[in-house]
Amino acid sequence: MRLTLAKILAVTTGVLIVALAALFALLQTG
Amino acid sequence: MTPVVWGALWIAVYLALVAAPLFVLLVAPTPPGLGFWSDFSLALGFAGAAMMGVQFMLTARFRRATAPYGIDIIYYFHRHLAVVAAVLIVAHPMILFVENPVFLHMLNPREAPWHMTAGLASVLAILLVIATSLWRKPLGLHYDEWRIAHVLLAVAAVVLALVHIEGVNYYVAAPWKRALWLIIVASWVGVLLRVRVLKPWRLLRTPYRVAAVREERGSSWTLELTPDGHPGLRSFAPGQFAWLTLRSSPFALKEHPFSISSAPAAGGRLEFTIKELGDFTRTIKDVRAGETAYVDGPYGAFSMDRHPAPGYVFIAGGIGIAPMMSMLRALAGRGDRRPHLLITANSRWERITFREAAHALQAQLDLRIVHALEEPPPGWDGVVGYLTPEVLSRHLPPDRASREYFLCGPPAMIAAVERGLYHLGVPLSRSHTELFDLV
């Protein structure tokens, strides 16, 4: 169970970072 | 605060550390935008670099931050995050190449400015770090050599990434942004110094002596250590593990994690029981009494002391019995009267490590023992084969849902037993695991 949670958390972190990067790009463009 | 709240808090701290460079970028005054895809690509590069920097923190063995999860799982998290970070880092130049193919010239070190070559070298170093870690065994890399290469390549990757960011000098050009960026980088360097300099220096001042080396069943050896001029490990809970250094300086990166198989004892005496599985573990039998050892620990959340229950179930595959013996011995020493169950899974009867020692504990504890064998001897009427839900169901106590379960052994066995227990009505929160097959 902990292994699965570690994987989910790592992927969620990646998604969050991509979203923040996109937000930064949007703010810069806007 | 409960461990769950602490766990959530440390995850928030981690996310804040990784996102910090992006927030630094966003704070005004910001240079003119370069277009959505270029800015998106740059942000991915910064975030990827930050994730690589924070990787050093994940393996720095901060006791308080790792306690809610167990440090073994932090190492797995470190591994998964490295792959995520690599995806972001590789995406950074890829997006630029697709958006503007002129950038492809940057791949040629003869034409590219030095900071672009540094960026390219950083990406290659990161890919090399990940490939050698995910496939260390198929590549035939020795653990000790891999560890040294891992640290050197990881440091090189981050330094080269910083050289690249410094050389591009666009989004961190403002003086105070530069200061913030330097603070972030200094925190990574600080952690690296703590792990590679301060901690080994502390270990050097708290050595142990090998008191005895004993052969156990199942190609395993027990090392008995006594602290030399200090009281030993602080706050060691039965079931925890430590990193052990033998025949090397603590600065040499030649340490290996092993479960402690003894109960906390007066005088700080420790026992590690180690199975011959690899290059290092095969040399344990050659260790002699009087040799020096260094112990970095205790670590891990795998202890019955963290989970009060009306009784415990210990399920061990092979050498996974080591932390169970620590817990059982501690329970015996405390005069515990609760009912406990020990299930072991091994290949053959004569290879059950601690077979006699576990049965001897039955005189002091209300302990039932079930052995499962893959190759049983003639006339064996016990469990044969794997610990299937059917086998578990037959042997678990009637109050199975209220017991706490400790699982240690090969990862495939742990996963199968954990699933089996869940299907038998044991809440996942009551199954506790220790994973050692880190790299």
**Interface size, chain A vs chain B, as Cβ–Cβ contacts under 8 Å:** 87
Tell me the nearest-neighbour CA distance from A9 into chain B, angstroms.
8
Taking an 8 Å cut-off on Cβ atoms, the answer to whether B19 and A26 are in contact is no
pLDDT digits (tens, 9 = 90+) for B173-230: 888 888 888 888 899 899 989 999 999 999 999 999 999 999 999 999 999 999 999 9
The full set of domains in chain B, from first to last, is: 3-203 (1.20.120), 206-299 (2.40.30.10), 304-434 (3.40.50.80)
The pLDDT score that the predictor gives to residue B214 is 97
Question: Which chain B residues are within 8 Å of A3, Cβ to Cβ?
Answer: 73, 76, 411, 415, 435
Q: Could you tell me the two tokens for B97?
A: 């190449």
Taking an 8 Å cut-off on Cβ atoms, the answer to whether A25 and B70 are in contact is no
Taking an 8 Å cut-off on Cβ atoms, the answer to whether A10 and B415 are in contact is no
Residue from the list B35, B43, B77 with its beta carbon closest to the beta carbon of A10: B77
The helix/strand/coil state of B77 is helix
Of B238, B151, B239, residue with least CA distance to B195: B151
Tell me the nearest-neighbour CA distance from A23 into chain B, angstroms.
8
The pLDDT score that the predictor gives to residue B438 is 59
Of B55, B76, B434, residue with least CA distance to B258: B434
Residue from the list B69, B81, B435 with its beta carbon closest to the beta carbon of A13: B81
Cβ atoms within 10 Å of B179's Cβ, excluding its own: 11
Cβ atoms within 10 Å of B198's Cβ, excluding its own: 11
In this predicted structure, the answer to whether residue B439 has a pLDDT above a threshold of 80 is no
Helix A2-29 to helix B3-26 angle (10° resolution) is 20
Interatomic CA distance for residues B75 and B40, integer angstroms? 29
Of B46, B52, B55, B54, residue with least CA distance to B24: B46
- Per cent of chain B over pLDDT 90 is 75
Say what the pTM is: 0.88
Helix B114-134 to helix B143-168 angle (10° resolution) is 150
Q: How confident is the model at residue B22 (pLDDT cuts 50, 70, 90)?
A: confident
pLDDT digits (tens, 9 = 90+) for B249-287: 999 988 999 999 999 998 899 999 999 988 889 999 999
Taking an 8 Å cut-off on Cβ atoms, the answer to whether B43 and A25 are in contact is yes
State the average pLDDT for chain B: 93
Taking an 8 Å cut-off on Cβ atoms, the answer to whether A1 and B47 are in contact is no
Q: How would you write B315-358 as a 3-class SS string? A: EEEHHHHHHHHHHHHHHHHCCCCCEEEEEEEECCHHHCCCHHHH
pLDDT digits (tens, 9 = 90+) for B366-406: 999 999 999 999 999 999 999 999 999 999 999 999 999 99
Residue from the list B25, B70, B433 with its beta carbon closest to the beta carbon of A24: B25
Question: Which chain A residues are within 8 Å of B35, Cβ to Cβ?
Answer: 29
pLDDT digits (tens, 9 = 90+) for A5-24: 889 989 999 999 999 999 98
In this predicted structure, the answer to whether residue A3 has a pLDDT above a threshold of 70 is yes
In this predicted structure, the answer to whether residue B28 has a pLDDT above a threshold of 70 is no
Is B66 in contact with B41 (CB distance < 8 Å)? no
Interatomic CA distance for residues B362 and B113, integer angstroms? 72
In this predicted structure, the answer to whether residue B437 has a pLDDT above a threshold of 80 is no
- Per cent of chain B over pLDDT 70 is 99
**Residue type (1 letter), B341:** L
CA-based torsion, B148, B151, B154, B158: positive or negative: negative
Residues from B contacting A (CB-CB < 8 Å) are: 11, 14-15, 18-19, 22, 25-26, 30, 33-37, 39-40, 43-44, 47, 51, 69-70, 73, 76-77, 80-81, 83-84, 87-88, 411, 415, 418, 428, 431, 433, 435
Please give the order of strands across the beta sheet that includes B339-346. B383-384, B366-373, B339-346, B312-317, B404-408, B431-434
Residue from the list A3, A17, A29 with its beta carbon closest to the beta carbon of B18: A17
Interatomic CA distance for residues B191 and B350, integer angstroms? 46
Q: Which stretches of B240-305 are assigned E, i.e. beta strand?
A: 241-246, 255-259, 270-275, 292-299
Taking an 8 Å cut-off on Cβ atoms, the answer to whether A1 and B43 are in contact is no
Taking an 8 Å cut-off on Cβ atoms, the answer to whether A2 and B30 are in contact is no
Question: Which chain B residues are within 8 Å of A22, Cβ to Cβ?
Answer: 40, 43
